[in-house]
Amino acid sequence: MSVRERFIAAGIHVLVLAAAAGFIWFLLRIADILVMLVVAGIIASGVSPIIDGVARTRLVRRLRVPRGVTVLVVFVALTVLVAGLAAGVITPLITQATRLVADAPQYIDLLRGWVTDLQARYPALTDTATLINRFLEQVTTLAPPVLGTALGAAARIAGAVADAVTVWVITVYMLLDARRLKSGLLVVFPAAWRPMIGEILHTVGRRFGLWLRAQAFLMFIIAAMSTLGLTLLGVPYALFLGAAAGLGELVPILGPVLSAIPAVLVALGISPWLGLGVIVFYAILQQIEGNFLVPRVMREALGIPPLLTIVALLVGYRIGGIGGMLLAVPMAAGLQTVGAALLSVAYGGGGGDAKSGRSNLDNGTQSGS
């Protein structure tokens, strides 16, 4: 190779590296937009079966209602439903959250008195009581800035509402132009790859939709059961604490445990026996969730091993914080689907047959359950 050819080759390598670095920099700059696109895609995957079901009804077929009108009608109905539920729940939630913030120092003082009394009665538990006191001191130190941030979050509501509206609009357009978007994406790939890519998109979309609907169902069930149980036990702020338990379902494995801590602390501030009762209640609830609800609701939607779930959560948190954790599990399910497709092509020698491709994908994604 001549000096000129080496110089040209080196220049090409430099240009490729610069282009890759520029592309990564560009992705980082638009990360928030990419997150909104992913969220909109997940919502579209979850709502699409509902729209298809409405479109197949006898009345809609008889009137020959266009798909665009069906999409808008379903979205307006869902918006009204969500807004109605929010209007009936948000006001009591805000009231209870405000009261809990105001009463937090009182509960911490009660807990400290209980720990001091425990230490006086049982000197052998001195080390345990010391650890509890240190934990309460940390809570007292961290509570003001955390609660101040929570109470000052009203200034960010406008931005959050704007993002939610943007995601809602993107979701509508995704549903309206789903076929054209898919066709436009498939054009980028060689013709021999298009059947396999089409099946990957179909399977990923189906799993995203199943995850969204299953997640919403689990959140509602856990929130309702937690609110009812805490109310029967006589724990104050039951609605707020139950809603926190429901939101904890967004983070598998870790979320249910972390969301139980506020309820236990509030109960311990009232009575050690009430605290013990709340601990037992949440232990039973988590057994029901882990052994009955999640296996039956999430198995078809995800089917990924618990270890992969934990790794996905850690990676998601490292990349995008809390938002990254919320999207980590469905993204891991999507990557698992892509990996199963690539393995089926590499070792199965297929990919061109749509039916065999779908079968391979389904078998690959269900093997983790």
Using only C-alpha atoms, the chain has a radius of gyration, in whole angstroms, of 26
pLDDT tens-digit readout, 214-262:
888 888 899 999 999 999 999 888 888 888 888 888 877 777 888 888 8
Q: Which of 89-93, 180-184, 268-272 has the lowest mean pLDDT?
A: 89-93
Full-model pTM: 0.67
Torsion of Cα atoms, 358 then 48 then 197 then 343, to 10° = -50
Q: Kindly report the backbone phi and psi dihedral angles of residue 112, in degrees, each rounded to the nearest multiple of 5, phi listed first.
A: -65, -40
> Residue 150 pLDDT more than 50?
no
**What distance in Å separates the CA atoms of residue 178 and residue 70, rounded to the nearest whole number?**
14
How many Å apart are CA 305 and CA 297, to the nearest integer? 15
Distances (CA, A) of 216 to 35, 221, 237, 273: 19, 9, 22, 33
Residue 82 one-letter amino acid: V
Report the C-alpha gap between 113 and 118 in whole angstroms. Answer: 9
Q: Write out pLDDT tens, residues 55-64.
A: 888 888 888 8
User: Which band of pLDDT confidence, cut at 50, 70 and 90, is reported for residue 146?
Assistant: very low
pLDDT category of residue 33 using cuts at 50, 70 and 90: confident
pLDDT band at 137 (very low <50, low <70, confident <90, very high): low
Q: How far is Cα 229 from Cα 282, in angstroms, rounded to an integer?
A: 9
Find which of 109-113, 127-131, 203-207 is predicted with most confidence, using mean pLDDT. 203-207
Tell me what pLDDT residue 228 has: 94
Instruction: Check whether 130 has a pLDDT greater than 70.
Output: no
Q: What percent of the chain has pLDDT over 70?
A: 72
Q: What is the pLDDT of residue 356?
A: 47
When mean pLDDT is compared over 41-45, 76-80, 228-232, 256-260, the highest value belongs to 228-232
**Which one has a higher pLDDT value, 115 or 201?**
201
What is the distance between the terminal CA atoms of the chain, rounded to a whole angstrom?
54
CA gap 108, 99 in Å, rounded = 14
Weakest-pLDDT range from 127-131, 281-285, 319-323: 127-131
Alpha-helical (H) ranges within the chain are: 3-29, 31-55, 58-63, 67-121, 126-151, 157-176, 178-187, 194-233, 238-248, 254-270, 272-288, 294-298, 306-348, 354-366
pLDDT of residue 151: 45
The residue-averaged pLDDT of 19-43 equals 80
User: What Cα–Cα distance (Å) separates residue 171 from each residue in 40, 68, 75, 322?
Assistant: 5, 13, 10, 22
Query: What's the CA gap between 167 and 38, in Å, rounded?
Result: 9
Is pLDDT at 136 greater than 70 in this prediction? no
Per-residue pLDDT band at 149 (split at 50, 70, 90): very low
Give residue 354's pLDDT. 45
| Residue 266 or residue 147, greater confidence | 266
pLDDT at 118 over 90: no
Report the mean per-residue pLDDT for the chain. Answer: 75
Q: What is the mean pLDDT of residues 165-170?
A: 84
